[in-house]
Amino acid sequence: MTQRLRLMAVHAHPDDESSKGAATMARYVREGAEVLVVTCTGGERGDVLNPKLDRPDVWENIAEIRRAEMAAARDILGVDQAWLGFVDSGWVEGYTHDDPSGLPEGCFARVPVEEAAAPLVKLIREFRPQVLLTYDEEGGYPHPDHIQTHLVSMAAIEAAADPARYPDFGPAFEVPKVYYHISFTKVKFTALHEAMEAAGLESPYGERLNDDWVGDKSPRITTRVPCGEYFELRDDALRAHATQIDPDGPWFRAPLTVQRAAWPTEDYQLVRSTVATAIPEDDLFAGVRAPAVADR
């Protein structure tokens, strides 16, 4: 018998799971793995980014609508999902975790990290993932809830492995492999931009390539997971978050055939591992999968 593979992905808001790592999760689900998305907040303070839905009735019911959107995306990807139950902090320009001034009282980013980590410790011990995905120390980008998600994830990983902490949450469990999403890199945008131009198409990536790429995280990639055949499911899940994505916007302007040819992977940085693996990887479960047993 082989062990069931289990992957946990910790995200700040509903819709983050569909814009970061969705095709990877869809692939592993269809290969038989259990995948649990943990959503830290309800996205209550998120903007309505789809101009077709920028209406008073949507704004008035945004929390309820975003829960329904999350349910639809979850079903498309085939993942399980759990809410941590914290309240969205909203966007604050120039935010740093050392200065929470300007954030609403009671929001996720103002909750002490150890307190916010507790429900995630419980989920880790219950689900016992061999792989956990989360954000890097900058949150991927400096949204207060994304930075808090990083801090909470790393604190929960440490605490879940310590039998002296949270003894009421079940037996201690050490997550074998921990990864950061490395989603938006100059090398990826360049490849997609050049592929669009080679196909004679207007590229949505050119303007982004003019940005200041100081601190580009391309060199941090350790693991590229081939998942191009699941890009359509990724996009369907993202469109399910209808308040958060314009279906006619730049996200969907590059044909999937171009994307699959130019960059058919989702990319990660392995930051902790208790199992032997070789870098670069093409599988988040490298070193975890039980070796094949020869016929006797």
Report the length, in residues, of the chain: 296
Angstrom distance (rounded) from CA 157 to CA 125 = 10
Render pLDDT for 280-295 as a digit per residue (tens, 0 to 9): 999 999 999 965 433 3
Token duo for residue 73: 């995306």
Render pLDDT for 199-235 as a digit per residue (tens, 0 to 9): 999 999 988 888 777 778 999 999 999 999 999 999 9
16 is in an annotated binding site: yes
- Hey, what CATH topology would domain 6-183+219-273 get? Rossmann fold (3.40.50)
Render pLDDT for 55-65 as a digit per residue (tens, 0 to 9): 999 999 999 99
pLDDT given for residue 218 in this prediction? 94
What pTM does this model have? 0.94
**138 closest CA partner among 234, 273, 269:** 269
220 contacts 182 by C-beta, under 8 angstroms: yes
153 contacts 8 by C-beta, under 8 angstroms: no
Could you tell me which residues come within 8 angstroms of residue 266 by beta carbon, excluding any fewer than 6 positions away?
Answer: 21, 23, 24, 181, 183, 224, 225, 227
13 is in an annotated binding site: yes
Token duo for residue 153: 């994830």
143 is in an annotated binding site: no
**285 closest CA partner among 25, 75, 82:** 25
- Phi, psi (deg, nearest 5) at residue 85: 90, 10
